[in-house]
Amino acid sequence: MGVDVAKGALAAGNKVVATGRNTAKVGEAPGKSAELLVVKLELDITKSADAETAVN
């Protein structure tokens, strides 16, 4: 679902910051775009420690 949201946002001309559970795959899924910032940060929203690390 997140990939589809990212692709839709990019197609609409928005900037996207991409994170994901698997840092090896996170930059590949949405494709290439100058408006895409890939953050190599493991972020599983079901784990509060990941969310805490992501914002600090």
Tell whether pTM > 0.75. Answer: no
Extract the tokens encoding 44: 């599983």
Name the residue range of residue 25's domain: 2-55
- 42 neighbors 23 (Cβ within 8 angstroms): yes
* Amino acid identity for residue 15 in this structure: K
Q: How many domains does the chain have?
A: 1
pLDDT for res 30: 60
Residue labelled with tokens 């599983």: 44
**Residue 48 Ramachandran class (φ > 0 left, ψ -120 to 50 alpha, else beta):** alpha
What digits encode the pLDDT tens for the residues 9-53? 888 988 877 777 777 776 666 666 777 766 667 778 788 888 888
pLDDT for res 27: 63
